[in-house]
Structure 1
Amino acid sequence: MLVARVTGDRLSTASSGNSARSEEASEASQRRPSDDRGTRPAARMNRIIRPLRPALGAGVSEAPAAPGARKVRLSGNTAREVHGTSTLGLVAPRRHRALARRLWIPGILLCADLVAFAAAMWLISSPSLKTFGVLVVILALFQTAGLYRPRLSLSVLDDAPAIVGRALAAGAAAMVIGGLDDGVVGTTRLLTCAVFAGFTVLTRMVAYSAIRFARRHGLTRRTLLLGAGAVAGSLATNLAAHPEYGLHPDGMLDDDPLLSEDERPVPLLGGYADLNRVLLEHSVDVVIVTYGSLREPLMVPLLRACDRLACEMLFVPRLYEVHTVTRETEVLWGMPLVRMRRAPFRTGAWTAKRVSDVVISAVVLMLLAPVMLACALASRAETGSVLYRQTRVGLAGQPFTLLKFCSLRPAAELEGTTRWNIGEDERLGPVGKILRRTSLDELPQLWNVLRGDMSLVGPRPERPFFVDEFTRQFPWYTARHRVPVGLTGWAQVHGLRGDTSIADRAHFDNFYIENWSLWGDIKILVRTAGQVLRAAGR
């Protein structure tokens, strides 16, 4: 019988029978059909319903289940609660509404700027392709200056320096370029940009007045305050008194409210464990962190829950009385609020990651086809099999079948799913040692990437048994499943593979998720290639 235990932040195992087995001990069982009837219903349900818990992290989904909640057994001892008929059915409409909320103000401002440019063109010069090129440059400069960012406080005087400065800079560049051919044309473009800046100030005055009018007449966003102290009370009072900011306070959450019931300007809707329920039931659009009794360790899972449900997040700085206002700071009736950026994997840039995964994996599969054929023949000759398949946990806690070249001789199936990997195994032959040392046994996972089970870069996938074990020991472990798992990752290029710290791995994986960029993925792939080549050289 196999016994698994956690020692420190590493998982080790003890066996009462045979000697140690590696993680791939299920290879032999893959040569014959296995009876998985006991796991198929859960797998089907998991594909249908995307669970909230892996993406939310610990501390949020531990509240008592709401009426009608279903518990779905996915793997091991992990039961995930899914409220309503489908989490996807709840989250997708919220994301669509959030997108519409983010775009309607930038859309109005863009229309105002186009009207201003058309007026400047009509007054100063005739339309031309080069002039429209100048417009594109100006709009891009406006975007980099944050002039299309949805804001609570709208003021033309705040925007005027950026508008005039960037319009004149684009005009000066156009004058220099145009002056090389015709000095009159260059001067005309500069004059057009100067007039455009003046018209833009006027059209934005009208646009801001229209937005404030709409907000005062009910076009506001439902807002939840985390914390029920003096700061939250003052903020809720000011929001209710000044609807032109566009936020309507619906209530507060706090485990230990400092304000009495009579002192609260809005109702207390529950404790922090009720966040998920309150966000859904009240259709909350914006969450403002005012702290109250909220402590740092609980903040991260709460904020990830808000991000999962497409809520905009703002913070009251700890020492807001001495906080310096910057471009990223909102000011609400004299109180600064810091806007939390959206998680990178929620942005449009994440689409480029999937496109690059498909293109690169397809190209590499074709280029390395001869190498993979040689590996397959060698594996077949040594172990009697080519591939072995193993269930791993991927995006949002959903299981998938991971592929690898066989590198071990046969063993019992159960050991492969519950035995932690070790560096040496008596069943590892010469071919298996080469495949493992050079990571060539991982090449079939390019097919997993092409299918969409994995990404080229991301947290490495683990078996369901160990996901359950690690989740019990490290509550933040499941936050790794917010993004697709990867062929390599930030933790792996820092040497965190095999029998290394699970806590460190989870920390590095979550750091990668929070700071993702396409260039970061390229760096990880380059470093991984270097490690593979060095291993092959040894």
Structure 2
Amino acid sequence: MLRQNQRFLTQLYILADLSVMLIVFLAAYWVKFYSGWVDSFNSLPFKNYLLWGTIYSFAAILIGFYVSFYAPKRRKSFSFDILKIFQVHAFSFLGLLSMLYAAKEVHISREFLLIFFVMNISALILYRFIVKSSLSRLRRKGYNKKFVLILGAGAVGRSFYEGLQQHPELGYDVFGFLDDHHAEHAPEHRHLKPIIGTIDQLEDVLANPLIDEVIIALPLGAHSKYASIIKQCEKAGVKTLIIPDYFDLLPARPFFDNFAGMPLINVRDIPLDELNNRILKRAFDIVFSLAAIMITLPVILFAVIGIKLTSPGPVLFKQERMGLNRRTFLMYKFRSMHLSDGKTSDTQWTVENDPRRTKFGAFLRSTSIDELPQFFNVLIGHMSVVGPRPERPYFVEQFKEEIPKYMIKHHIRPGITGWAQTNGLRGDTSIEERIVHDLFYIENWSFFFDLKIIMKTVTKGLMNKNAY
């Protein structure tokens, strides 16, 4: 088994990062001054560039430690690495520019700095991707494993085991279960690793050097045993993780807060509750919606003319929807149906071959052109480019009684497109599945996640068979 000490792995990562940055530095120097691809005028000797390149590299390593870039990342996705690489090297580059200004080093080539910065980030992302992919393949084949012991063979422990089997790339294997109430699994769970003893036998089991982590998945009634269990695990030098018996009530990434000196679990921590995240998302919404309106202006004019020529009535259709903090607003769409009373449109679903649609309206819906006026909702502040789709108040009142956690979607601004829609949940599809996707988005929001959703919308979300 290839089981490396984490400190040794961290040292390897640091040496690898320094090596990559050195190679990139030399490559950038060659591109700038010897390749002939750009202006090659150089007023400083190579040693000056090497000095500042070395300072930059070590600064990046120090900042990497500060932002936890070199912390264990076995459970992290590759997007975490990408985000940290941008974070580390943006800070390092700004620090380098500040030091150059303070040292009055005005003759350093700005083109070289730009080439080095772009090549450096690209090379680090590529090499980290290769490492991550290689480790995943090795773990799938059974190498570089870590073994966990699960305390509790009940529903919580079994759920953790099943979830772990879905991610072989993480390289975790279950050593076995300890449980006070069952000597073996029920027949329908015989595929699980065996129950090898009781909780009282934990100290003896931990004598096995293979066990790396202990997962406590005991019911609330066993709370009195936690202190003894943790003490035994720490004595054996084994990490301890606790799955609360009420885990199904918690978000995917629970947030630990502190209130009056006591640790608290925030049941619904939302990244967009943070001011800097809200400012970033709102700024992006304004810039993106303005750009979208200008780019699609010919399509907007085409839709306006088409509606006017094919059916009597207004161009825009305005409908009350529920948005942020359960406040209602008027959402704009291009009218795709014949005129009807407001009560009908507010209380009826659109169905396949809906007789209320106009022929031109059916085209607008199938191509999502009818959604373009919602960019004006984004500019006003009622909506965001990406977020859960807003619903009519009439249906909200029904869904909040029938579908668990439905109202959580109103903790953020609704969107023109969302994670549910890019996964095919649009039109006449499961509301329950939509909410699952909406909650995942709310709890896991990031700027790059928004970009991913927008790209999926553009590449495969515009034409949809469920858009009636």
TM-score, normalised relative to structure 1: 0.41
Structure with larger RCO (C-alpha < 8 A, sep 6+): 1
